[in-house]
Amino acid sequence: MKNILLILTGGTIGSVNRNGIIGTDSGKCRVLEMYEAGHNDCHFEIKFPMNILSENLDVRHWENLINYILSLDLSGFDGMIITHGSDTLSYSSAMLGMCLNHLDIPIVITAANYIPDDPRSNALMNFNAAARLIENVKGGVYTVYGSGSEDSVEVYMPTRINEADRISDRFSPSDGKPLAFIDSSGKIRTNCDFDIGLLETHKSLTELRSVRFEKSVCMIMPYPSLDYDKIILDENTGAVLHLTYHSATVNRKALTLLKRCKVKSVPMYMCSFHNSAGSMYETSDIMLKNGALPLYDMNKESAYAKLLLAVNLYNEDIGKFMNKNIYYEGVGDLNEIGD
């Protein structure tokens, strides 16, 4: 029987419907009750470090959650399941993947599309897949979430899962395909050339004992007529992350913000350029020539999490940290292990 540490953080998977209003329920873990009604193969120890709807997540929640997990004695556990809300699942997956990959047990992050008692919910299916994954891997951090099929649940690399689409409510992998699928019987079918064994053994932050996010990252999404003069860089801004259009471009007016960043010694990173591109547009070229820094083949979630860690933990050498493979966040470096 596997001993699994269950970390509950709230979200839809930990919520109930009260008179048409969905909110978190701190009194019980309904999805665990449903799982144990049909399985007796795991023993769960429950921890409840926070209880929020994930749209209310901020960096202080990350700080508290990560430090809480890092403070635990995990020697008696075979794995860890972290339940989370779906709205910010992709962001927390990236952050937790980068901060917890050095731990010696597998960690699986999961969520749900509807509350567990809703017949449309994938909560139980996802939870079952998380338990089955822990049975089959020795380490690593993963995100599991079913796209709607009753036959299987997707296993994502946590640094490559994109925010759910606002129309279809479906998550997607930034490299085009999930790591694997888990069917209802627990059988795992790999789905790409990436070796899951690399995730089991990759330990990039072995010295990490705690985190504290004192500096912020200002993330900017481009859209027509974005007014750069209204973007404030205060004394706590450690870096700017400017997302690009799909062609790795931004409006030329971004130069005005870049100039303000240089005056304040605030680095500006642009996400995401493509390693495979043979040329670039003039608008991007002028940004790089004036000091903007490119990030390659990385989704916004991992870029944000990585830069937030860089400005707070590695401020003396942000550039070196940003160029290191923390947990396979750079899609272009599929099997390359960073130094």
| Full-model pTM | 0.94
The pLDDT value recorded for residue 195 is 79
The pLDDT value recorded for residue 288 is 96
Cα–Cα distances (Å) from 96 to 90, 91, 290, in that order, read: 10, 9, 33
Average pLDDT for residues 204-216, to the nearest whole number? Answer: 90
Confidence of residue 150 (pLDDT cuts 50, 70, 90): low
The pLDDT value recorded for residue 336 is 43
pLDDT at 221 over 50: yes
The pLDDT value recorded for residue 27 is 66
Helix (H) or strand (E) holding 34: helix 30-38
Average pLDDT for residues 174-195, to the nearest whole number? Answer: 86
- Chain-wide mean pLDDT for the chain? 92
Per domain, the residue ranges of the chain are: 2-201, 216-322
The pLDDT value recorded for residue 155 is 96
pLDDT tens readout for residues 69-92: 999 999 999 999 999 999 999 999
Burial state string for 30-60 with b = 16 or more CB within 10 A and e = fewer than 16: bbbebbeeeeeebebeeeebbebbbeebebe
Q: Does the domain spanning 216-322 belong to CATH 1.10.3710? A: no
pLDDT tens readout for residues 315-339: 778 999 999 999 999 986 544 433 3
pLDDT tens readout for residues 94-112: 999 999 999 999 999 999 9
Pick the CATH number of 2-201 from 3.40.50.1170, 3.40.1410.10, 3.30.70.20, 3.90.180.10: 3.40.50.1170
The pLDDT value recorded for residue 335 is 42
The pLDDT value recorded for residue 24 is 81
Average pLDDT for residues 229-255, to the nearest whole number? Answer: 97
Q: By the 8 A CB rule, do 173 and 157 touch?
A: yes
The pLDDT value recorded for residue 126 is 96
The pLDDT value recorded for residue 332 is 67
pLDDT at 243 over 80: yes
Average pLDDT for residues 17-35, to the nearest whole number? Answer: 83
pLDDT at 278 over 80: no
- Do 2-201 and 216-322 agree at the fold level? yes
List strand residue ranges (DSSP E) for the chain, in order: 2-8, 15-18, 21-24, 42-47, 79-83, 107-110, 141-145, 152-156, 161-162, 172-173, 180-183, 188-190, 216-220, 237-243, 268-273, 293-296
The pLDDT value recorded for residue 79 is 98
